[in-house]
Structure 1
Amino acid sequence: MNKEITPQIGQIVKILRGRDADQYAVIVSIEDSKFVNIADGNKRKFDQVKKKNLVHLEPQPFISSEVVNSLQESGRVTNGKLRFAVSQFLSDKSNADQKGE
């Protein structure tokens, strides 16, 4: 079941385990092959990223170019951009869900 996927910075993930289960967040940095740092700009700010095991995350097929560009330019991303990326993904997802019916 656990597919080998390469996480990418700016990618939206669904949190499967822990206090934030069923929430969505953005990968802001990659620690190593097992761990990434995530933030959502809301409860989990960029300055206090959460280190998560990839096993506990479900990567979504959505990468926020705004987050990627911001991190490449300055090494930081605003919490507003993180919130926007998550809300953009959720609105795309709900539109896709509605079309699927």
Structure 2
Amino acid sequence: MRRLETGNDLPQLGQYVRIRQGRDAGSIALIVAFENERFILLADGHKRPSDAPKKKNINHVEILSAVSPEVQRSLKETGRVTNGKLRHAIATLDQAIQKRVEEGSAIGNGKRGCY
């Protein structure tokens, strides 16, 4: 998993997003295709498999700074990605977030108070 450089606001294939609107609000997915400048296609390997991605308005998702290089490479080389690879990428992100929370670096470095 790698992070994007600051200043690059354009979404990329294989980039993680958090869904903000709709029945899947709060869940994590990956960008598997672009419909146009307004819509992206998302898949997570569970509820939304790669062969039936969810069309989502780009304004209804929070684009995260991390990109899955395995998913990105697969999409660029073959135009497809397996559901197992999507599930693995999301599990890897979940583990990284959990590790940061345990270390206290994800939320205010373990300090209490308003930020």
> TM-score by structure 2 length?
0.81
Runs of 4+ in structure 1 off by over 4 angstroms are none
2:4 aligned residue = none
Amino acid at match of 1:98: E
Superposed CA RMSD? 1.3
For residues 32-71 of structure 1, what are the alpha-carbon distances to aligned partners after superposition, in whole Å with 9 as ceiling and x for unaligned? Answer: 2111000000110001000101111001111001101111
1:19 aligned residue = 23
1:44 aligned residue = 48
Pick the aligned partner of 2:69 from 40, 65, 72: 65
Instruction: Work out the percentage of aligned pairs sharing the same amino acid.
Output: 44
Which structure dedicates a bigger proportion of its chain to helix? 1
Report the count of equivalent residues: 98
Unaligned runs of 5+ in 1: none
> TM-score by structure 1 length?
0.91
1:8 aligned residue = 12
